[in-house]
Structure 1
Amino acid sequence: MNFHTRKWVKPEDLNPNGTLFGGSLLRWIDEEAAIYAIVQLGNPRVVTKYISEINFVSSAKQGDIIEMGITATDFGHTSLTMRCEVRNKITRKSILTIDKMVFVNVDEDGNPAPHGKTHIKYIEEQFEKEDL
């Protein structure tokens, strides 16, 4: 799993216990997963269909730097399935895991649309295509 996006836990991200508010973290994950799906499917119109059990393993506190890792695990006809892990950048301690997140590729009318993708597209492949 590649960890690309990092967030700095700030005072406005905290819950009353002084740790990272789960809702803030889930918002960041949903946004990161949507961006990942858009890049993989080559379509700016994707929607969150399903998120499996969310396992909060440990907490983060103010000043921590966290990193989000997302990777594709399956390409359906109109969907992309991913898994996610969030960890502390410094200690590498896991903060959260999600085994399954499904995003659906949609057309201009919001209907599921085939995407024609079958494997993960890595950044190197994108640059090679642009260089042609």
Structure 2
Amino acid sequence: MTSTANDDVIVTVVDDIILLKWTEGITITEDAARTAAAFVNRISADRRRPMIVDMTRTAAVTRQARTVFLEPGAASRIALLGTSPVDRVIANFVLGVSNLPCPTRFFTSETAARSWLRGVVSA
């Protein structure tokens, strides 16, 4: 397992999936988003990989941060993971950004997120 972190985010690679976990209660700013993207690109070692973004209890995502999410990076597919209706609303703001650089979906189950990232289709 490889990992990198700061006070806002932890990024690891486990079983060839990037796991990005935001600190609970964070407002994701442009600077935080750029730092996380740099961590993801560095830890991925020039390979595109599927990624789970655990955004559980994220407070908000700024407009400037959402523009960072438009930039292509190491993620080949992104599963946004949350547990509450508020997480879903915040995810919908991210998903509402046009032209995301890779397929991106919201999940409340890590198992379902991993299946989707691996290309396993469930009924």
* Larger RCO, structures 1/2 (Cα 8 Å, 6+ apart): 1
TM-score normalised by structure 2 residue count:
0.30
TM-score normalised by structure 1 residue count:
0.28
More strand by share: 1
